[in-house]
Amino acid sequence: MEDNSALKKNRLIHRWSAIGEATAREISNRSAPELDQIRLPLPLLGRIPVREMIMFGALHCMYHAGIVKKRMEMNPAHQNNSCD
């Protein structure tokens, strides 16, 4: 049986994946100009086009994935942990 932290990790990964898939489905039905016209309110930055937020989100995830990869390379014991 999985310990509590592994269960939480798996739930988080699956939820994150589901949200990503839903977002991809939604934006795939829209054109680039349409994504530029739809704006999201952000308290510190004002109204930001959806396309910019998507780009920021992708870059932000890549940044954090790089950190995780470096940490895993530094600690090989974590390389075999399954997320399934």
Ordered alpha helix ranges (H), 29-80: 32-37, 50-74
Domain segments of the chain: what residues? 4-78
Work out the mean pLDDT of the chain and round it to a whole number: 83
pLDDT at res. 84: 42
pLDDT at res. 31: 92
> Is the Cβ–Cβ distance between 83 and 10 less than 8 Å?
yes
Q: pLDDT (tens digit, 9 = 90+) per residue, 7-36? A: 887 888 888 888 888 888 888 889 999 999
Between residues 19 and 1, the one the model is more confident about: 19
Query: Once rounded to an integer, what is the mean pLDDT over residues 31-60?
Result: 90
